[in-house]
Structure 1
Amino acid sequence: MFPEDYVVNCTRLVRLWISEGFVKQRDGATLEEVAREYLTELIHRNLVQAESVDFDGVVRNCRVHDLMHEVILSKSDELSLIQTSAKNLQCPNQTARHLSIKDESNNLSRSSGCSKTHSIIFFEVNEFPKSLLRSLFANFILLKELDFEGVPLNYLPEELGNLLHLKYLSVRDTKVKMLPKSLAKLRNLVTLDLKRSLVRELPVEINKLSNLQYLIAYSEDYDTRQGVKIRGIVRSLNSLEKLYYVDMNAQNNFGFIRELGSLKHLRKLGITNLTSESGNALCNAVEHMSYLESLHVISGKENELLQLQSMSSPPLSLLCLRLQGRLEKLPDWISELKCLVRIRLFWSQLSDIPLKILGGLPKLLELLLYKGYNGEQLHFEDGYFPVLKELWLEGMDRLNRLKIDEKGLCLVENLFIGSCPRLEELPSDICHMKCLKYFEISDMSKEFARRMLPDAGQDHWKVQHIPNVYLYFNNTQQQYSTYKLGDSSLLEYLH
């Protein structure tokens, strides 16, 4: 259903598979985990190509080779599985199970009903006529998946409730501002994707969706995210596996957070606008989430204190942790997270960052500190961070010295340093980092950059072993210009 050469988000793909019923339940694994195994097998058979792979080995995006795409379309034509907008939508094939509507001409036809259509996905649609919207909700009553991602859609009508079989609904990257109350009728809904839409509050009817497993709803800017308000009783959403992000502003904080603790199947939880007073209640709730793999906690303000010390038994299955808010100290329970692969600390402003505790986490692959440390020196010692691959150091106003022991950070492949105005030169220790593939520098002085220039730069010898060195400078339009070390354009900019 995806157009030729289209880069497919793997999470989107597997959730569509789940909604269509392609994924079979297996003891000890979630449907998403089973679906990921299917995708891995397709990649190993060279039927699908991995387009981008994260540092932890997870395939994030994939695509189908042009030749394979033609074969698939040929087979689907024989089986009347898929109809695309290249054909006449005025009279669609009445047996087509899936519609893929791609509009390059800005002229969508009104589509009549098809009693057997299970899914509709839109691509590159420049205009969305109200007549088409009415037709969808009036005629395609057996739909299981409806994907409006990126469509110029402003609203969803009450007729949404006609789609009683709907399992997947996405208005990601649209201008939809609110969901109709008829949402309560969608008792089969499994995925509701509101990411980067304009929805800021969910109707109380959301609590009727007892089969909902994936609720994704947030907007984002450079360094923070904003969740949605949920009113009512969330404990009725007892099938939820992923819930991010929930805006705690204007909630009955303590009662709401206690109800979160009843969501026993949660694998991913994101909270925004958490107040200091609610920190202990959140810790108590998280202790009941024994399957939790990802936890993101964001305070309401940059200087708001996150009170997260009281967790005595954290979920030991935690893989990813993002704490965004001021910390008096690093929570003690972090040292128990032996499965943790990613930790991101925003706004923490720790006066003493315990690198030995973080460096003792045996599986940690990524460490990000954004305004996370307000000290003058960072020392990465031998024997710590044994498998770390990515290190981000940004927004440290007082940092003036970075020391890396000869066998410290020896497996790091990506290093990012940004907005550290007192760090006047690179440490010579960076030459020990033999695995470095990418070194990125942002918002540092021109003099800092000049010192790395080939030939004339006195610090060039420190980075000459790194194949990709990139520098980012904020220009007058508040946009970043990118330069690669060695390019003539960088030399021109610096002089």
Structure 2
Amino acid sequence: MAQTVVEFLLEDLKQLLDHSSNCVLAEKDAIETLYEELEFIRSFLCDLQSCNQHEVLANLVARIKDTACDALNYLDYFALSVINGKYKTISGQTNGVFDHFPKLRNFREEIKSIKKEVMVIYMKKLYGVGVSQLGVISTTESFYRGSTTNTVAEDEIVVGFDNEITAMLERLAGDQKQLEVISIVGMAGIGKTTLAHKLYNHPLITYHFYVRGWTCESQGYHKKDMLFDILSSVVDSKDEILKMSEEGLGEELYRRLKGKRYLIVLDDMWNIEAWNDLRRSFPNDNNGSRIMITTRNGKLAWQIKPDSTPLFLQFLTEDGSWDLLERKVFREKNCPSELLEIGKQIAAKCQGLPLAIVVVAGLLAKTHKTPDWWKSVARNLASYVNREYGLMNILAMSYEHLPQCLKSCFLYFGTFDEDFEIPVPRLILLWIAQGFVKEMEQRSLEDVAMDYLMDLIDRSLVIVAKKSSKGGIKSCRIHDTLHDLCLKKAEEKKWLQQFDWHGRVTSFRCAISHNDCHLCFHSHGLHNSFGQHCAPTVRSLFSCFLEGFLGPKVTTTAYIYKLLRVLSLWRVYLESFPVEILVLVHLRCLELRVRLLDRLPLKVSNLRNLETLVILKGEYGRVTIPHTLWSMVKLRHIRISEIEFEKPCSNYVYPPVLNALQSIHALRLSDSMKDAEDVLERVPNLRKLSFDRGPSDGGKPIFPDLAEISYFISLASDYYRRTPHWRNTWNSSLANLLLGAPYYRSPDCQSFCLPDLANLVHLETLKLEDTAWFAAPPTVPQPSKFPPNLKKLSITGCNICWKQISNIGKLPNLEVLKLGRDSFKGPLWETSDGEFRRLKFLQLSEMDLQQWVTSSSHFPTLERLVLDKCYDLEEIPSSLGDIPTLQMIEVYRSSRSAAISARQIQEEQFNMGNDSLNILVYPPYKKECRDSKEGPSTDDM
């Protein structure tokens, strides 16, 4: 990743140029010249779509990377010494950077030589550089500045599995009471996991099984991790199982599954040892439970269950291949006639492998749709005859055609475990911390990173794992074969190093070289390996395993990795905050899990480049943030449960504002209004703020001025309940707001009264929480008092009368309505004409609602209905089935009669020719289930 290393050098040089040290001033002109030359080389690398297009270019890129890596080690340490004021002159003289490090003088000469070669390439337009290349989309910043990428995730397209799905549904939900093990067998990329996911989430399966769980073995088997994955699907909170031993996890899983009809998916199985270990945790109660296995090894499938015939997946036909390719490239449109013949040739050359087809389709969809370019793709595919090796080559071709800015982002998926579901916000923060995301005018780094992710999804290199209620992306993952590609390319680039539980290298056979940039410890290798591999240019250190408490060995050796940008130990427990890591001044992202923490150390400000600080605590309690944090001007995100800024001494002068800071989670302000406003005045660009409590005046709560905060505010404290003027203190450009427990009192403090929010013209998301303790019932204001462009409203614990929901129904732009626990009270909800004209998503959770009287015309655009723990609801109105846009009804842990009515709606619609309505019921109800007005027993859940 030559471009990335060059950009690291540019960062160091910029920090030096911003510093007024004598050693920098002495050679400022030389440093500026070097900066300009490196910027020119960076632009050249940006223009290259592939370093493998020509051997000369590939060699030049490798030379740039090796040269930059050598220099980076010295320049990093020099910058560190200068910034910390520890730079020592020689013999009392003012020595510059090039005097102090002779190798940097050689580097400067090498850069000049490289620049000359690049200029010759540009001037003579050698190897196609400088010429508009066929089929390649520009990788310049303008491509993303004008991006109109749709951030709503598309559903995965599945072709050619109709017969297999029908057969598997019969085997999974059939009458056989004995515990059955059913295997899906096929080569990499043929669609085993895709089919398993389709079956796992099929409405019939979700209705039939009480409990479902999923885990993936991959090529490295770790029993504890697999047990944890399955249990995570069963329990309500992962915290209760996080500290369990391997034996304890196995026993808990057995207890949770005992007596219930369950479906467990063991994805990507490789050896019989894993099955022999796990099978003890799967009870056989002769109740129709099933275990579904996917594997590339047909012999293993027969070993696991000799009397159960595996499903062997076949390659797609040429017609099926073309159908899949056309739908992935053109979506709902037809292929133009001039591309039809060559398109079918491309589909045929993919040899019937679905993964190869969708990845090639991703390349075609993101590049110019011209006959010449498609013929070029077909020619490249023609050389890949062998299916097994051809698949990896096809995937590699798609990787090579990625814009340069996406290559590092894609390879970063290799730092996560295979099949790991990655939260999108965390992935974006890590990309930013590594410097992969480029700054653009009038756009935040987070927005640009989201464009990058959507591009990878559009190219079928990344899979959407979970969606939000608005259709956005909550988490993502990549196919295991693409994960292999990440590791293969990382090995070629000497970019990533992985270690197993013995501390041995798992991804490469070579020892760590000076070019390795990222370390990833799988299973329990951190105890044995931490600190043993002191590569000078290690940029990331991840622990991808479940572990108990770590001893001092981890923290006392942290100084070895002085150039780290990302330190992620959130999956292991530390007893206390490791102060030794405060020497890691290049850190951009720090993720820790600490059991005991009441105060961050004063020297946390040594981490002057830190952008993201995440600390998960094992025990509850307030964490004091020292005043020195205000000197950390690059901070963008702080997430620590219940934090409080230290009250400075009287003569303390605040440093400059933190312009970069965008989010603070669970802030607890001091009792002084002045101190509170001093804090908030220094975060003018804050986009997300979650309050735990705030200041007071003689015991009477007062509200700080939030006029400068323009994106999100979460007010989650009774601190604000008697503050009559706080609604006038915020910015009219506020986009998201949470009013917490409780969020407003009337002047007599006896009733709830929502403040006038009409001036918040940009507010799209509003959450109202916990006002149930008021003596008088809450009153919902007229629609004119709500933000005029409100799209998403969530209400919890307000105990509002159902008659008042009509005011909410009249909100003109409301698309998502989530009614949580005790949001509305009463047995009857009767809707009226003219309400909920644009509502697409409706969720009712933990309601005492018994009767729901409505019509399809009252929800004319509804797409998804979710019921959760509605134990008293007698039925879902059948008229809802007539809504033309309705796609899904989901019923979770609700009354049996509600579940039955959902099935009846589906049957009625099917009989009328509508087969597009999906129903999901969990858990499914036994025939002996109790009366509809009772909730399901704990044995049934």
Q: State the shift of 1:409 in Å.
A: 2.5
- Write 1 or 2 for the structure with the bigger share of strand: 1
Separation in structure 1 between the aligned mates of residue 729 and residue 714 of structure 2, nearest angstrom:
17
Instruction: Return closer, same or farther for 1:36/1:373 CA change in 2, 3 Å cut-off.
Output: same
1:325·1:346 contact (CA, 8 Å) conserved in 2?
A: no
Look up the match of 2:753: 329
Look up the match of 2:923: 483
Q: State the shift of 1:120 in Å.
A: 0.7
- Write 1 or 2 for the structure with the bigger share of helix: 2
- The code of the aligned residue for 2:739 comes to L
Look up the match of 2:865: 415
Are positions 1:228 and 2:643 aligned together?
yes
Give SS of 1:384's match: coil
Separation in structure 1 between the aligned mates of residue 675 and residue 873 of structure 2, nearest angstrom:
44
Q: State the shift of 1:419 in Å.
A: 5.9
- The code of the aligned residue for 2:923 comes to Y
Structure 2 counterpart of 1:202, from 596, 616, 624: 624
Instruction: Return closer, same or farther for 1:331/1:355 CA change in 2, 3 Å cut-off.
Output: farther
Give SS of 1:148's match: strand
Are positions 1:373 and 2:789 aligned together?
no
Give SS of 1:285's match: coil
2:550·2:573 contact (CA, 8 Å) conserved in 1?
A: no
Separation in structure 2 between the aligned mates of residue 258 and residue 72 of structure 1, nearest angstrom:
48
Look up the match of 1:439: 890
- The code of the aligned residue for 1:324 comes to G
1:319·1:340 contact (CA, 8 Å) conserved in 2?
A: no
Q: State the shift of 1:21 in Å.
A: 1.2
Give SS of 1:245's match: strand
Instruction: Return closer, same or farther for 1:318/1:493 CA change in 2, 3 Å cut-off.
Output: farther
Look up the match of 2:545: 124
Q: State the shift of 1:265 in Å.
A: 0.5
- The code of the aligned residue for 1:295 comes to I
Separation in structure 2 between the aligned mates of residue 253 and residue 389 of structure 1, nearest angstrom:
44
2:547·2:571 contact (CA, 8 Å) conserved in 1?
A: no
Q: State the shift of 1:373 in Å.
A: 2.8
Instruction: Return closer, same or farther for 1:308/1:2 CA change in 2, 3 Å cut-off.
Output: farther
Q: State the shift of 1:451 in Å.
A: 6.5
Separation in structure 2 between the aligned mates of residue 185 and residue 357 of structure 1, nearest angstrom:
50
Q: State the shift of 1:183 in Å.
A: 1.1
Name which of structure 1's ranges 127-136 and 237-246 shifts more when overlaid on structure 2. Answer: 127-136
Look up the match of 1:299: 717
Instruction: Return closer, same or farther for 1:156/1:342 CA change in 2, 3 Å cut-off.
Output: same
Q: Which runs of 5+ in 1 are unaligned?
A: 219-226, 471-481
Structure 1 counterpart of 2:597, from 177, 192, 198: 177
Name which of structure 1's ranges 460-469 and 121-130 shifts more when overlaid on structure 2. Answer: 460-469
Structure 2 counterpart of 1:494, from 930, 935, 938: 930
Structure 1 counterpart of 2:637, from 207, 211, 214: 214
Q: State the shift of 1:245 in Å.
A: 1.7
Look up the match of 2:471: 57
Separation in structure 1 between the aligned mates of residue 431 and residue 536 of structure 2, nearest angstrom:
20
Structure 1 counterpart of 2:854, from 388, 404, 423: 404
Q: State the shift of 1:55 in Å.
A: 2.5
1:143·1:166 contact (CA, 8 Å) conserved in 2?
A: yes
Q: State the shift of 1:135 in Å.
A: 4.9
1:9-408 to structure 2, matched below 5 A, reads 9-86=423-500, 88=504, 92-104=512-524, 108-112=528-532, 113-127=534-548, 129-130=550-551, 132-171=553-592, 175=595, 177-178=597-598, 179-195=600-616, 197-198=618-619, 200-204=622-626, 205-218=628-641, 227-232=642-647, 236-248=657-669, 251-252=670-671, 254-262=673-681, 263-273=683-693, 281-282=702-703, 285-289=705-709, 291-292=710-711, 294-300=712-718, 305=721, 307=723, 310-312=726-728, 315-326=731-742, 327=744, 328-333=752-757, 335=785, 337-351=787-801, 353-357=804-808, 359-374=810-825, 377-397=828-848, 399-408=849-858
Separation in structure 2 between the aligned mates of residue 267 and residue 381 of structure 1, nearest angstrom:
37
Give SS of 1:360's match: coil
Q: State the shift of 1:357 in Å.
A: 4.4
Instruction: Return closer, same or farther for 1:280/1:203 CA change in 2, 3 Å cut-off.
Output: closer
1:160·1:183 contact (CA, 8 Å) conserved in 2?
A: no
Q: State the shift of 1:79 in Å.
A: 1.8
Per-residue CA deviation, residues 441-474 of structure 1 (Å, 9 max, x unaligned), is 44x5xxx424653xxx7x864565563243xxxx
- The code of the aligned residue for 2:678 comes to E
With CA pairs under 8 Å and 6+ residues apart, which has the higher RCO, 1 or 2?
Answer: 2
Separation in structure 2 between the aligned mates of residue 231 and residue 242 of structure 1, nearest angstrom:
18
Look up the match of 2:183: none
- The code of the aligned residue for 2:835 comes to Y
Separation in structure 2 between the aligned mates of residue 322 and residue 306 of structure 1, nearest angstrom:
17
Separation in structure 1 between the aligned mates of residue 595 and residue 860 of structure 2, nearest angstrom:
46
Per-residue CA deviation, residues 406-442 of structure 1 (Å, 9 max, x unaligned), is 3223333443445667655544554445515133244
Give SS of 2:689's match: strand
Instruction: Return closer, same or farther for 1:180/1:493 CA change in 2, 3 Å cut-off.
Output: farther
Q: State the shift of 1:144 in Å.
A: 1.0
Name which of structure 1's ranges 316-325 and 56-65 shifts more when overlaid on structure 2. Answer: 316-325
Give SS of 1:194's match: strand
Separation in structure 2 between the aligned mates of residue 63 and residue 390 of structure 1, nearest angstrom:
25
Separation in structure 2 between the aligned mates of residue 181 and residue 309 of structure 1, nearest angstrom:
36
Instruction: Return closer, same or farther for 1:189/1:412 CA change in 2, 3 Å cut-off.
Output: same
Give SS of 1:74's match: helix
Give SS of 2:547's match: coil
Q: State the shift of 1:185 in Å.
A: 1.3
Q: State the shift of 1:389 in Å.
A: 3.0
Separation in structure 2 between the aligned mates of residue 307 and residue 427 of structure 1, nearest angstrom:
42
Look up the match of 1:479: none
- The code of the aligned residue for 1:130 comes to G
Give SS of 2:475's match: strand
Q: State the shift of 1:231 in Å.
A: 2.6
Instruction: Return closer, same or farther for 1:40/1:196 CA change in 2, 3 Å cut-off.
Output: farther
Instruction: Return closer, same or farther for 1:279/1:69 CA change in 2, 3 Å cut-off.
Output: farther
TM-score, structure 1 normalization: 0.79
Instruction: Return closer, same or farther for 1:43/1:145 CA change in 2, 3 Å cut-off.
Output: same
1:409·1:433 contact (CA, 8 Å) conserved in 2?
A: yes
Identity score, percent: 22
- The code of the aligned residue for 1:321 comes to L
Who wins on radius of gyration, i.e. which is larger?
2
Q: State the shift of 1:137 in Å.
A: 1.9
- The code of the aligned residue for 1:286 comes to L
Q: Which runs of 5+ in 2 are unaligned?
A: 1-414, 649-653, 745-751, 759-784, 910-916, 932-941
Size of the aligned set, in residue pairs, is 455
Q: State the shift of 1:300 in Å.
A: 4.1
Look up the match of 1:478: none
Give SS of 2:757's match: helix
Name which of structure 1's ranges 156-165 and 139-148 shifts more when overlaid on structure 2. Answer: 156-165
1:107·1:127 contact (CA, 8 Å) conserved in 2?
A: no
Separation in structure 2 between the aligned mates of residue 433 and residue 16 of structure 1, nearest angstrom:
43
TM-score, structure 2 normalization: 0.44
1:279·1:308 contact (CA, 8 Å) conserved in 2?
A: no
Separation in structure 2 between the aligned mates of residue 276 and residue 371 of structure 1, nearest angstrom:
30
Per-residue CA deviation, residues 194-248 of structure 1 (Å, 9 max, x unaligned), is 2465463133143332221111223xxxxxxxx3333337984443111122135
